[in-house]
Amino acid sequence: MKKHNFNAGPCILPKIAIENASKAILDLDGIGMGLIEISHRSKEFEAIIEETRALWKELLNIPDGYHVLFLGGGASMQFCMIPFNMLEKRAAYLDTGVWANKAIKEAKLFGEVNVVASSKDKNYTYIPQYTIPTDVDYFHITTNNTIYGTEIKTDIDCPVTLIADMSSDIMSRPVDVKKYGMIYGGAQKNVGPAGVTFVIVREDILGKVTRVLPSMIDYRTHIKEGSMFNTPPCFPIYVMRETLKWVKSLGGVAEMQKINEAKASLLYNEIDRNPFFKGTAEKEARSLMNICFVMDEKHIALEDEFMDFAKKNGMVGIKGHRSVGGFRASCYNALPTESVQALVDCMKEFEKMKA
Ligand SMILES: *Cc1c(COP(=O)(O)O)cnc(C)c1O
């Protein structure tokens, strides 16, 4: 049976990217060696990383002064690298969930942290109001809260350096990069397999802290060496290139956004219409990427039954995160509209069955 892959990350990738990567593993462009067998300093790999960087710049319209880096360690490594490189005295963070909290925890190791607002009181189902202090080294936000299905869908104006964890909504919409000092994330939601971390950083925000930085921690090392200070994650970078080529072939991030909006409304409309279900996030904060819902109070007892029914119909990965419960359908770029439709059909059928 056809599987509909709603996994939260790692997750579905464009089929063409996986096909091309499979071929490249066996033989890269007919050179008689596989992609994972060649030197990262070979002209073949140099061309791959160069094109990947160029695709990032083109798709997100990244202005001069910014560098695109491909690092290891995941977004979680950035939680510590950011304050290491940029927190001299005090930094501001917006608390919108588990990932934001992990970033806050690391920042506290390096200086004072001003948590400007939190939506913890309602289990992170909304984006809280906040004012950004001006006496901080930077302000950190998490644009998409993967676990709770909330999202900051516009680029905010920020009087200080703005740093954003965009792990789970990068490339889902156009981003006004110049409003940010740095954008980063793990690749494994919208741009590739696990193993590579993307960092888009404006050079002028670096080199301002007084502490000594180990080479691997210092962003300037990776800028200087073109992400080749050490061996980069070659294979994930290749799949990332193929994924970005696919985004480009569809018309780029503006087109991606239209598709994502259409997919998300298809599912949200059903959640709002179907008396058996209800959404968990506040409407204004609803994420286009991770759509969280539960059984309506009157039908709570049917949760396991719907889960089984959905599984039997090919739905994979729709169990909600343990801290939220219910269901989460992650509708990343590569998830086809047919899969969202299949889930909607499943919900409609369940309603009929139980009526
Ligand atoms: C998945 C995720 C992370 C964690 O990424 P790792 O690469 O596993 O460290 C961080 N932030 C957000 C918003 C995520 O969705």
Identify whether the C-beta of residue 185 lies closer than 8 Å to the C-beta of residue 166.
Answer: yes
Number of domain units in the chain: 2
CB 240 within 8 A of CB 14: no
Q: Tell me, in angstroms, the distance from the centre of ligand 1 to residue 159's CA.
A: 26
Same domain for 270 and 236: no
Nearest CA to ligand 1 atom 4: 75
Q: How far, in Å, is the centroid of ligand 1 from the Cα of 179?
A: 22
Q: Pick the residue whose CA is nearest to atom 8 on ligand 1.
A: 74
Residues annotated catalytic, as ranges: 99, 165, 189
- In a shared domain, residues 175 and 272: no
The residue among 193, 228, 249 that closes a domain is 249
Whether residue 295 contacts residue 276, with contact meaning beta carbons closer than 8 Å, is answered with: yes
117 DSSP β-pair partners: 94
Q: Identify whether residues 218 and 82 lie together within a single domain.
A: yes
* pTM higher than 0.95: yes
Q: Copy the structure tokens of residue 91.
A: 């930094």
- Give yes or no: residues 28 and 145 share one domain: yes
Cross-strand pairs, 186? 197
The answer to whether residue 3 sits within a structural domain is no
185 alpha carbon to ligand 1 midpoint, in Å?
Answer: 7
Same domain for 265 and 231, yes or no, is no
State if residue 96 touches ligand 1 by the CB under 6 angstroms criterion.
Answer: no
Domain boundary among 249, 269, 286: 249
How do the pLDDT tens digits run along the chain, 355 residues long?
Answer: 899 999 999 999 999 999 999 999 999 999 999 999 999 999 999 999 999 999 999 999 999 999 999 999 999 999 999 999 999 999 999 999 999 999 999 999 999 999 999 999 999 999 999 999 999 999 999 999 999 999 999 999 999 999 999 999 999 999 999 999 999 999 999 999 999 999 999 999 999 999 999 999 999 999 999 999 999 999 999 999 999 999 999 999 999 999 999 999 999 999 999 999 999 999 999 999 999 999 999 999 999 999 999 999 999 999 999 999 999 999 999 999 999 999 999 999 999 999 8
User: How many CA atoms, within 13 angstroms, populate the side-chain half-sphere of residue 230?
Assistant: 9
My answer on whether 245 and 109 are in the same domain is yes
Cβ contacts of 101 within 8 Å, gap of 6 or more: 95
Check which CATH number belongs to the domain holding 170 and give it.
3.40.640.10
CA atoms 247, 241, 193, 176: torsion sign: negative
232 and 128 co-located in one domain? yes
What CATH number is attached to the domain comprising 294? 3.90.1150.10
CA distance 72 to 78: 9
d(CA 246, CA 252): 9
Rounded CA gap, 117 and 110, in Å? 20
Ramachandran angles phi, psi of 292, nearest 5°: -105, 135
Q: Is 76 in the pocket of ligand 1 (CB under 6 A)?
A: yes
Distance CA 311, CA 287 (A): 23
Determine the structural domain holding residue 322 and report its residue range. Answer: 252-354
The answer on 165 and 294 residing in a single domain is no
Identify whether residues 317 and 332 lie together within a single domain: yes
